Structure 1
Amino acid sequence: MATPFIGRLDRYLAGEIARPFALTLLIAALLLVLERLLRLLDMIVQSQGAPDMVWRMLAALLPHYVGLALPLGLFIGTLAAFRRLSLSSELDALFAAGIAPGRLLRPVYAMTLAVVAVSILLTAYVQPLARYTFNRLVFEATGQALGGGLTPGRFYTLPDGITLFARGIGTDGDMRGVFLHRPSQGDRPEQTLTAARGQLLADPGGSRVVLDLAEGRMLRPAGDPPGAAAFERAEIPLFDSGLAAFRSRGALPREMTLRELAQTLAGAVPERVPGHMIAEVRAALHWRILYVLTFLPLPLLAVAVGPVAKRRAGLVRALVGLVIVIAYHEALQTGQSATRDGASPWLTMWPVFAGLCAIAGAFYARWRALPR
């Protein structure tokens, strides 16, 4: 009689976790999609692109948003399940029947391993390809905007984060009152320029779009005395021309698969990225590994903070657990930024994960030691 009971218990606990997990995943992904939808609609309206481009972009972003929501969904799903079992006294009944606290972790970690498998697929393969698809769609949408002609008085966001504005545009394409801002990237410093006149041209090779500026001023980069340097004429290369094919995948670490990141870091393909981007590759590789490993301590923390004390069905313990998860995410992001700047991930990222494991283990040990 023990085996059918154990089987039913596993299915029952898995069902209790699956419902809040799916609901949390759906709500979180929907909120993230709606937040990006407004910006994509504005970009498509400015570019005069096809309306279906918005849905294609959102589809390319969906794997990224699902990946963001998975850890929170697993934590909240497990926490909500054990909280409900505690409030309904089902947890007490299980303990009275001789079920050990550790035994309840079996269905929890069965679901966790399934989520881990999905997260590996997302981070190692699906998300990099989807990110490249999204960047290509942005390139195509921007190309439509330039092909159809810029609209005066509008700010345009071009590839690589470039911002372009023209107060007036003549019928021949000559721009007046031009503003250009290009953020720093690698060894290239940040640039902010204004010019009386400008024109978008193709370089002699026809593979790049160049902004030809005249009678302008360029703000001095950070560290120099404040002010601006005047120039009579300047040609600023912007991005690949729509006449040329979009760049091949793998130029950015976020577009590389997990295997490609490891090969690049090991020097197997040294031509894949320039030397100054190796730190960014290292940060991306360690972040993806830690993202997958993060799922392992989360159930321990959720199981420990989910059950409520007798006659005190408050939300303090659950809120403490949620704050710990959010603080961990923020700390890991900070460590990733420091790694991009050249710091060692073993000092900036892995201690954050070790801290989460220690906290989750301490919470679970304390809950397991409570009298039943």
Structure 2
Amino acid sequence: MIDRYLARSIAVPLIGTLVLASMLFVLDKMLRLFSFVIDAGGPVSVVWQMIANLLPEYFALGIPIGLLLGILLAFRKLATTSELDAMRGIGISFGRLLRVPYIYAIALTLLNLGIVGYIEPWARYRYERLRFDLQSGALGAAVKVGEFNRLGKRMILRIEGSEKDGTKLRGIFLQVDEKPGSTVAATAEEGRFLATDDPNTILFRLKKGRLVQQMDKFAAPRSLAFDSYDLPINLPAIDKFRGRGKNEDELTLIEVFRRGYSHRLAADDRNRAQANTNYRLVEALMMLMLPLLAIALAVPPKRSTSSLGIFVAIVMVVTYHKINQYGEQMGAQGRIDPLIALWGPFLALLALIWWMYHVVAHRPGGQPIGALERFFAKAGKLLKRFAKRRPPTPAP
């Protein structure tokens, strides 16, 4: 009964926090992606593909926070409603209560390790490939109505309007630089693009217009009025995207581990790979400490409903994440051994969390952040007194 009750109490804030954090990350990135895709002239549907490839990274960031807040809020509710005291009174220890939180922690640690070790590297590579395809025009180009659109290096197109499906264009101006010294310009009432047997060539069928051809060997430009004219257009060559593995973030955990401890690579490459390997490991294993941290900060002082523990928990996790990022950079540059730069803060945080848990679990009335609680309580009282003594503002 207690395990099911704890499981339900943890699940609701955990899932809510994870969904909320992912939505905030997506909304923050979505506007920039829409702007980037529109400026590159690509289809809007690519935005959703790019966001889908960013979701693994967002889940990897949101899962630890969700786990921490899920356990912390569940135990804080038990503490503020005196249910925790009742459980402790009948002989249920904190070790027994940690059973369900550690089931969540182990499962989510394995999930997060799978995301950062295997799913996220492939998603990051696909995201970069979509960016490259947009910039190179491999995904197609959007023709803006009423503007001069440059398609490739040799073609300029302007249209006044189009049908809803985009297959039929109206009010066309076209200029094509076929080769040095040769230019073809055309105007037409309507037209459409047609595919040919050659994948590198398309046909632009123009209706009711006039074509002007200018060449250096012509004394005067040649002009032609037509009812229907097929203008072949050579498509520009599109570069191929690079192979996977340029950055360590695009390699799976096994691949980056092999690169980091391969003696065939230069020292700089090994340092970067070793730093990335250890960064992924400490970020995942840190989640196994979160249940202890959550319980240590979930129990407020007696006759208090202070939320300081929530604030301290989030600050500790975010600060540790930033320290790991700094340690990865230092290790990649060879200034500090990657093992020291990343496992040193990990062991220091482990010792701090274990001490905090020991205080709250094994010392009667123990409060690991009691000094902070007292400081903020006194600061709050001083602010209230200052606000009461402040003279009222005279009416105009």
TM-score (normalised: structure 2): 0.66
What CA distance in whole angstroms lies between the structure 2 residues aligned with 1:369 and 1:352? 25
Other-structure match for 1:35: 28
Corresponding letter in the other structure for 1:252: N
Match of 1:212 in 2: none
Deviation at 1:357, TM superposition (A): 0.4
Map of 1:266 onto structure 2: 261
Task: Tell me, yes or no, if structure 1 residue 299 matches structure 2 residue 294.
Answer: no
Q: Secondary structure at the match of 1:294?
A: helix
**Counterpart in 2 of 1:67?**
60
In the alignment, structure 1 residue 133 sits paired with structure 2 residue 126: yes
> Which residue identity does 2:347 align to in structure 1?
A
- Aligned-partner Cα distance in 1 for 2:84–2:138: 60
Confirm whether residue 330 of structure 1 aligns to residue 325 of structure 2.
no
Identity %: 34
1:280 alignment counterpart: 272
Q: 1:291 to 1:308 in 2, by over 3 A?
A: same
RMSD: 2.6
CA contact (8 A) 1:253 1:280 kept: yes
Cα separation, partners in 2 of 1:171 and 1:246, compared to 1, 3 Å: closer
Corresponding position of 2:341:
348
The answer to whether the 8 Å contact 1:140/1:242 transfers is: no
1:58 matched residue in structure 2: 51
Q: Residue type of the partner of 1:296? A: L
Aligned match of 1:121: 114
Q: Which residue of 2 aligns with 1:15?
A: 8
For residues 285 and 139 of structure 2, the distance between their equivalents in structure 1, rounded to whole angstroms, comes to 44
How far apart, CA to CA, are the structure 1 residues paired with 2:242 and 2:37? Answer: 21
C-alpha distance in structure 2 between counterparts of 1:103 and 1:171, whole Å: 67
Taking the aligned partners of 2:294 and 2:121, their CA distance within structure 1 comes to 30
* Whole-Å separation in 1 of the counterparts to 2:151 and 2:46: 29
Match of 1:314 in 2: 306
Are 2:241 and 1:246 equivalent residues in the alignment? yes
Listed one character per residue, the Cα deviations across residues 190-236 of structure 1 (whole Å, up to 9, x for unaligned) are xxxxxxxxxxxxxxxxxxxxxxxxxxxxxxxxxxxxxxxxxxxxxxx
Q: What SS class does the counterpart of residue 77 from structure 1 fall into?
A: helix
> Within 1, Cα distance between the matches of 2:122 and 2:319?
29
Alpha-carbon contact 1:128-1:257 (below 8 Å) kept: yes
Aligned pairs for 1:90-169 (under 5 A) are: 90-144=83-137
Partner of 2:392: none
Displacement of 1:279: 2.1
Deviation at 1:278, TM superposition (A): 2.7
TM-score, scaled relative to structure 1: 0.70
Aligned position for 2:19: 26
Residue 131 of structure 1: CA displacement?
A: 0.6
Q: Cα offset for 1:346?
A: 2.1
Q: Is the 8 A contact 2:278 2:339 kept in 1?
A: no
Deviation at 1:251, TM superposition (A): 2.2
- 1:153-198: per-residue Cα shift (whole Å, max 9, x none)? xxxxxxxxxxxxxxxx999669xxxxxxxxxxxxxxxxxxxxxxxx
* Mapped contact 1:336–1:348 kept (Cα < 8 A): yes
Whether the aligned pair in 2 keeps the contact of 1:49 and 1:145 (CA below 8 Å) is no
Paired residues in the alignment total 280
Letter in 2 for 1:288: R
CA contact (8 A) 2:293 2:313 kept: yes
CA displacement at 1:300 relative to structure 2? 0.4
Secondary structure of the residue aligned to 1:246 is: coil
Residue identity opposite 1:18 in structure 2: A
